[in-house]
Chains A and B, each alone.
Chain A
Amino acid sequence: MIADIILIIAGALFVGVYVSWRAGRIDRLHARVDMARVALDVTLLRRSSVAQELATSGLLDPATSLLLAGAVYGTRGGDRPRDLAESDLTRALQAAFSQPDFRASLSGKEGADELLAEVEEAAYQVFVARKFYNDLAAVTRDARSRPLARVLRLSGHAKAPVFFEMDDSLIADKPGAWMGPAGHTMG
């Protein structure tokens, strides 16, 4: 009799601890996802501002400048959804960078190499930050969708994180080749 009661209390305790651990995990995941989203926003803003700097640098011809400026402008609000506008900026940067001998035509000009490296670094950071964010979003969504989490509403009022989809393929000199900043290797 006593043994049964102890067993029930122990069982209830165990379930309580387990549920609270699950809830805590979901809570931590949401916090991490929020951080990752902020980090992604920061990298997108950084990319947009270095692209702007390249557009106004006077290093490029006016058509390429205007092309980049238009894409940067699109990412700063306006009627185009954020993911599409950021993808447009990716494609505009690709179009500029994939001109034959683009680098060769600029090398030797004051500040050109540093600025190009900075644009590529910023584009790479967007790629990484988005991957981190989407991975965490996937894990969080999975944790929220488990039966126990759903039945006991362990995620509370926190909204399910939404994947951020965009074209963030990296700037390449020619298709398939990624001349990344030193230290990064891409598969």
Chain B
Amino acid sequence: MKIGMVCPYSWDVPGGVQQHIRDLAETLIDEGHDVSVISAADDDTPLPPYVVPAGRAVPVPYNGSVARLSFGFLSVSRVRRWINQGGFDVLHVHEPGIPSLSLLACWVATGPIVATVHTAIPRSRILLVTYPVVRTGLEKINGRIAVSEAARTTLVEHIGGDAVVIPNGVATRRYRKAEPLPGWPGPGGAIGFLGRLDEPRKGLAVLLKAFEILGPQRPGLRLLVAGPAADAEEVLYRVPADLRDRVVLLGQVSEDDKVRVLHSVDLFCSPNTGGESFGIVTAEAMAAGLPVVASDIDAFRQVLDGGEAGELFTVGDAADLARAAGHLLDDPARRAELSAAALAAVAQYDWSVVARDVIRVYETVMLGRTRVAVAPDTGAFP
């Protein structure tokens, strides 16, 4: 199948949408499909062979923050040329509700078009329905995908038509192997945490409380914490002084270092108190073969197979977390068991499985339609 995919954001800026497109495109290529991605990118940015640059991305304010986007008639002509030369069976645009290449591609193209909506944009309704030139583009979308229920609601309300929910996949292969950080996990054992330190719903406070119980009992036990914080000092001061040197804060880490962090600990903790729809970080830890202790919120219960693939503790209960983590630290055989169960359970969230669902959407919109081509009525633009 020849697939043309449109990335709305600058390729070289890290972000969830770019990551999603990269993983999906590479998975589809692995399965023998012919994929071309057009993305906002400078002409001299080093790009993977399947990415076509659409020219300089301009930092512009939109919706209260600044994004690097491509727009304007030069982008229109690049997109048109890419579609003309591509001969795609299906066009897959991402985030079509923001001013970007994706919106331009919808406007320029005819034929089978699939759109994926990633984020809920509260303001978009008024904008999208009031502007005819925008509406024309969006009305051409045949198949709609949302990555979460929240995104689906936005899409249904703002763009119209129903959508299938296909969650983000986990690139399990990328997490399988990595070199531990020097000196980790150490003889006394180590517990890992990933996420924003100062976002209460990520639950670091619960883990730190549990460490106050575990720490004195186990003299060598350390905590490895990776993630951004406005004030890391303040976080550290919540730990009793005698335990402070056993809590190591790494700050924000790169994708590669994140995998190394996961391979540097004996146990992964997801103490979130809510606000998770899937628990991608937990799934990534599982893909690294780490035994997981997680709070028993719906998202974790689901990804951990109801507790078969990891230990669950009462949400917000530090003593219960200390008990569950303590048991696992004392029992290497149980850890090995959970590690194997986690690897097996996370396989169903792998991109290869997710990509199959996406292909099914492609096939549905392609039925009875011709290939993707340039719409004749946009010829007025150069």
Contact = CB atoms under 8 A, between A and B. Distances in A.
Interface in A53-81: 55-56, 58, 60-67, 69-71, 73-74, 78-80
Chain A interface size, under 10 / 10 to 19 / 20 to 34 / 35 or more = 20 to 34
A73 B75 CA distance: 24
A73 B103 contact: no
Contacts of B133: 56, 58, 60-62, 65
B104 interface: yes
Interface stretch (A96-104, A119-127, A172-180): A96-104
Contacts of B132: 56, 58
A91 interface: yes
A168 interface: no
B97 to A, nearest CB: 8
A25 to B, nearest CB: 41
Given A70-B99, A73-B123, A61 B76 contact: yes
A63 B123 contact: no
B72 A62 contact: no
Contacts of A73: 123, 126-127
A44 interface: no
A63 B61 contact: no
Contacts of A66: 98-99, 103, 127, 131, 134
Interface stretch (B62-70, B187-195, B199-207): B62-70
A23 interface: no
Contacts, number: 94
Contacts of A91: 60-61
Given A56-B131, A64-B71, A95 B58 contact: yes
Contacts of A105: 73, 381-382
Interface string B42-83: 000000000000000010111110000111111110000000
27 contacts: A56-B130, A56-B131, A56-B132, A61-B71, A61-B73, A61-B107, A61-B133, A62-B99, A63-B100, A63-B101, A65-B99, A66-B98, A66-B103, A67-B71, A70-B62, A70-B123, A71-B62, A79-B64, A80-B64, A87-B61, A88-B64, A91-B60, A92-B62, A95-B60, A95-B71, A99-B72, A100-B74
A20 B54 CA distance: 67
Contacts of A79: 64
B136 interface: yes
Given A56-B131, A66-B127, 19 more contacts: A58-B133, A62-B103, A62-B131, A63-B75, A63-B100, A63-B103, A64-B71, A66-B98, A66-B131, A69-B130, A70-B99, A70-B123, A79-B64, A95-B58, A95-B71, A99-B73, A102-B73, A105-B73, A105-B381
B134 to A, nearest CB: 5
Interface string B133-145: 1101100000000
Interface residues of B, number: 33
Interface of A: 55-56, 58, 60-67, 69-71, 73-74, 78-80, 87-88, 91-92, 95-96, 99-102, 105
A99 B58 CA distance: 10
| Residue of B76, B126, B136 ringed by the most chain A CB atoms within 10 A | B76
Contacts of A64: 71-72, 99
Contacts of A61: 71-73, 75-76, 104, 107, 133, 381
A102 B64 contact: no
B72 A102 contact: yes
Nearest to A109: B380
A69 B131 contact: yes
Given A62-B136, A70-B99, A96 B72 contact: yes
Nearest to A66: B99
In the A-B complex, the 3 residue pairs with the closest CB atoms: A63-B71, A88-B61, A67-B99
